[in-house]
Structure 1
């Protein structure tokens, strides 16, 4: 086998449509709709959640302008890590890597908890005696590394088919509600009114809205494996943000219209788990509720595999650059995927699920609570760093090209300065709002809220501290961080 420092992911393996499938699968909009929307009705800003999805979509469109401009120049499986390392500093890149990897592992753990919960419910219906949720989750974790290890084209088609089915059933419901003229109150737009969106609980609802866009980075993670990444990655990124915005906003609005804006919150409080399934038979063909239940499981599985791919590629990029063990950059001799990193991530998942199985009997407290809040907050922090990196990267190019680098090589002042600056401002405001409402997502537990904040600070300090140690003891490795082992 060749030296790990020279091993590369398979270039030109996927196009923008396949990357779009990866992004859509990793974000899992159906998961947010079925799991997050009922909780937002009860604990967030009520029917304003539909407007939160729309607002989050606008925020991430602005974020994508700068990120896409930088991704044309930084083609690396490390994505946020490489962008921040190149645009700010190598040490800041390690901070971004720590935040991103921790966030994706936390969100993957939430998906494991949810799929374990629904499999437990299914086993109870089939056999009367349900299997423990953690055992079901461990069964899934045994299959995930196999799917993630296969070549990237196989993963693209698998996740693409699952994502297409997910999108189709959501579209059928939305169109049916439109054709029926809504529910008892008609097709009301009250849920999109600013007074509803920016009401009490706005920050809590934005956690769920932002979590629905957390896989957008996937477009850049597959840049090394994409055909013509300078065109493919931005195209997939914009298409993904628009598709997720439309899907989540329209689906949430259609559900509110189906129940009626003045009745849907009470319905969510009575039975949040059946909020969607109780309404489906009134608008779609018989059996659609069962199909949605099945697609929820496949959506969760697709999301788990997608996040497995993302984390393994981050570990691969860090190992290739010498930031962590070089063995994590080893490629499978046939599939050309980072199989050691994939197995390492799988082992961590098994250990975490085993520990949670011994201590937590309610998987939904894992899936919709402190763990998901931590994942969303960590990614927002990484995205703020990335937007700052866009400004830093093109400012350096401006200096190198006599003041014209941004316009000549990045797409103009809007893409290289103004959009990322606006993104930093809006994401920072959202971060502050989410932190202020953090207790709503932790069941009122101040201890859990402060633990999340402490964890974010610890990751940042450890990443920055490790970067400082590398700079002092191994300056050559430190200088090469985020440059793909080159």
Structure 2
């Protein structure tokens, strides 16, 4: 059977640090599926989605039928996950999306995907940085504390994130595990209270099971908000080098994260609808999209639960930031090892076995972006969060669609796996589903960018240019392009 062969390795001089030891270019860890699930589910920020995105999806989307959109999104992403995990054993490095796309569609497409991935994760991290600064200030002033600019809190969070990202990945995993359990627990308490009391005045909702309700209003916009809630689950493969058994751990973590997120969102959105009733939920969500979930907690569980939820809203955003920081740092690290970025980005810490240089680069990029936004006087929620999250949503869905297409092409060309469901049917359905969602996102880019058509067009142009630049970069740096899908053994210098 045909296989893809890598170019023969060539040597490259390696800098020798103090002590005479060669710098390591490989990450190490013993992460199991559970630890990776904690990190990628934390990136999805479950409480933030329930308290922030669900009310908007209900009000602007398909009303009481909105919970069904999470089921649809989970099914489409499950098709993606089938092909993604089937190809995992044939992609020998931790480059995630760009490694898959490069292996299946060629080096130019792979490098273009790498640029889109960097843009997407830089912007989604920046979006959450802006939001958390605003939210901490709101929380502090709400309890009688001093009012300070949002960016002061943001920079403080950035420093804490940078310290954790610099250390061994298992420290971040433990922090994320605690924060994730807390935020999921408070929402499940609310869900149990609503269901246990039989819902609100109209009882438990059945709208999400009724086709006419699911297709009412603007289901396309509802699906758009639903798919955005899953951003982060796809990053399991970036932790390949730190996984205990990559060929088993990565697929298990991917499926587990998707299942947990899908069930949690569907259940919790249904509980919120049931608490207010099918006839009132759209009006109430539109009137107070930022506070309706906290109000629901106060009504069904008590004011103490509402106060706890406000605090956990902040920790949910911090967990998302830390997770995105870890993912982005590993993108910088992997691209440093290929020679696309500076060789220093591909070095790992001799004691923490972490991508410490790449982590510092990630922190600096985040700080610069936030300083620019602060100097420009942008609103941390209406502009920074909305605009940057819009860029990231389109970019990551585009990457998933390209990854599905890469799976189809790779297995068709190589024949290394001939199982029809894993290599043809599911990836093909994933391409169709993700392409339709991408069309919805592009059509509503202006909405994603706060209603600005010029900004919407600018995002589309930015991502298209980034993808096209991959082919130019592949021609300009052919050796780096060859290294795109090549595994880097421990302590081996990147090939540049």
Query: Which residue matches 1:436?
Result: 443
1:285 shift after superposition: 4.2
Q: Summarize the alignment of residues 85-164 of structure 1 with structure 2, pairs less than 5 Å apart.
A: 85-127=102-144, 129-164=146-181
Work out which of the residue numbers 468, 478, 481 in structure 1 matches 2:481. 478
Q: Summarize the alignment of residues 343-354 of structure 1 with structure 2, pairs less than 5 Å apart.
A: 343-354=360-371
Tell whether the 8 Å contact from 1:99 to 1:459 is kept in structure 2 after alignment. Answer: yes
Work out which of the residue numbers 249, 259, 273 in structure 1 matches 2:290. 273
1:151 shift after superposition: 0.7
Tell whether the 8 Å contact from 1:165 to 1:295 is kept in structure 2 after alignment. Answer: yes
Q: Give the 3-state SS of the residue equivalent to 1:334 in structure 2.
A: coil
TM-score by length of 2: 0.91
TM-score by length of 1: 0.93
Q: How many residues align?
A: 470
Tell whether the 8 Å contact from 2:387 to 2:448 is kept in structure 1 after alignment. Answer: yes
1:128 shift after superposition: 5.3
Q: Aligned partners of 1:138 and 1:56: how far apart in 2?
A: 34
Query: Which residue matches 1:427?
Result: 434
Work out which of the residue numbers 372, 376, 401 in structure 1 matches 2:393. 376
- Alignment partner of 1:337 is 2:358: no
Q: Aligned partners of 2:294 and 2:151: how far apart in 1?
A: 25
Query: Which residue matches 1:7?
Result: 25
Query: Which residue matches 1:36?
Result: 53
Query: Which residue matches 1:78?
Result: 95
Query: Which residue matches 1:464?
Result: 471
- Alignment partner of 1:223 is 2:240: yes
Work out which of the residue numbers 448, 456, 460 in structure 2 matches 1:449. 456
- Alignment partner of 1:182 is 2:199: yes
1:217 shift after superposition: 2.1
Q: Aligned partners of 1:360 and 1:51: how far apart in 2?
A: 38
Structure 1, residues 379-433: CA drift from partner, whole Å, max 9, x if none?
01111111111112222321xxxxxx213xxxx1110111111101110011112
1:31 shift after superposition: 1.4
The alignment's C-alpha RMSD in Å is: 1.7
Q: Relative to structure 1, is the Cα distance of residues 255 and 435 closer, same or farther in structure 2, using a 3 angstrom cutoff?
A: same
1:166 shift after superposition: 1.6
Q: Aligned partners of 1:361 and 1:88: how far apart in 2?
A: 39
Q: Give the 3-state SS of the residue equivalent to 2:352 in structure 1.
A: coil
Query: Which residue matches 2:81?
Result: 64
Q: Aligned partners of 1:182 and 1:39: how far apart in 2?
A: 21
- Alignment partner of 1:406 is 2:410: no
Q: Summarize the alignment of residues 259-338 of structure 1 with structure 2, pairs less than 5 Å apart.
A: 259-338=276-355
1:364 shift after superposition: 1.2
Mean alpha-carbon deviation: is it higher for 198-207 or for 161-170?
198-207
Structure 1, residues 26-68: CA drift from partner, whole Å, max 9, x if none?
1112111211122223333333331211111111111100001
Q: Relative to structure 1, is the Cα distance of residues 415 and 210 closer, same or farther in structure 2, using a 3 angstrom cutoff?
A: same
Q: Relative to structure 1, is the Cα distance of residues 459 and 165 closer, same or farther in structure 2, using a 3 angstrom cutoff?
A: same
Q: Aligned partners of 2:299 and 2:92: how far apart in 1?
A: 48
Query: Which residue matches 1:417?
Result: 424
1:478 shift after superposition: 2.2
Mean alpha-carbon deviation: is it higher for 45-54 or for 116-125?
45-54
Tell whether the 8 Å contact from 1:98 to 1:460 is kept in structure 2 after alignment. Answer: yes
Q: Relative to structure 1, is the Cα distance of residues 17 and 293 closer, same or farther in structure 2, using a 3 angstrom cutoff?
A: same
Q: Aligned partners of 2:228 and 2:188: how far apart in 1?
A: 21
Structure 1, residues 343-366: CA drift from partner, whole Å, max 9, x if none?
111111111111111223421113
Mean alpha-carbon deviation: is it higher for 14-23 or for 196-205?
196-205
